[in-house]
Amino acid sequence: MKFVSARIITADLPRLVQFYEHVTGLAVTRYTEDFVEMQMATATLAIATPRTLALSGGDAVAQPAANRSVFLEFRVTDVDADYQRLAAGLDAAAAVVQAPTTMPWGNRSLLLRDPDGNLVNLFAPVTPEAQRRYDG
Residue 94 has pLDDT above 70, yes or no: no
- Number of folded domains in the chain? 2
With cut-offs at 50, 70 and 90, classify the pLDDT of residue 128: very high
Q: Do 112 and 96 meet the contact criterion of CB atoms below 8 Å apart?
A: yes
Residue 93 has pLDDT above 60, yes or no: no
81: in domain? yes
Share the mean pLDDT of the chain.
Answer: 93
Task: Sort strands 107-113 and 96-102 into parallel, antiparallel or unpaired.
Answer: antiparallel
pLDDT at 92 (0 to 100): 57
Region 79-94: what's the mean pLDDT? Answer: 82
61: in domain? no
Structural domain range at position 25: 1-53
- Clarify whether residues 87 and 122 are in a common domain: yes
pLDDT for 30-61, tens place per residue? 999 999 999 999 999 999 999 999 988 887 88
